[in-house]
Amino acid sequence: MKSGGSVNVDGEVCDIIEASYLKGQRTRVFWISRRDRLPRRLEETIRGTRDIVVRERWRNVRSVQA
């Protein structure tokens, strides 16, 4: 896991965190808001015979108490 600095996502300053697993076959990059520590973006890369990249962007994220 490594940190990739910070960036603005839809008005939220976010830290970038990258996690790689399965010997680098899969990588996930998270953009985590500094204000509330909730995710704002996700990019997942699956490496195989053909790379698959999935990108998600989340707005109006909130924590729900059980």
pLDDT at residue 20, as a whole number: 95
pLDDT at residue 35, as a whole number: 93
pLDDT in tens, the chain (66 residues): 566 677 889 899 999 999 999 998 999 999 999 999 999 999 999 999 999 999 999 988 888 887
Rounded to the nearest angstrom, the gap between the alpha carbon of residue 34 and the centroid of all alpha carbons in its chain is 13
pLDDT at residue 58, as a whole number: 92
pLDDT at residue 3, as a whole number: 65
Considering the entire predicted model, what is its pTM?
0.81
Express the helix, strand and coil content of the chain in percent, nearest 5 each: 0, 60, 40
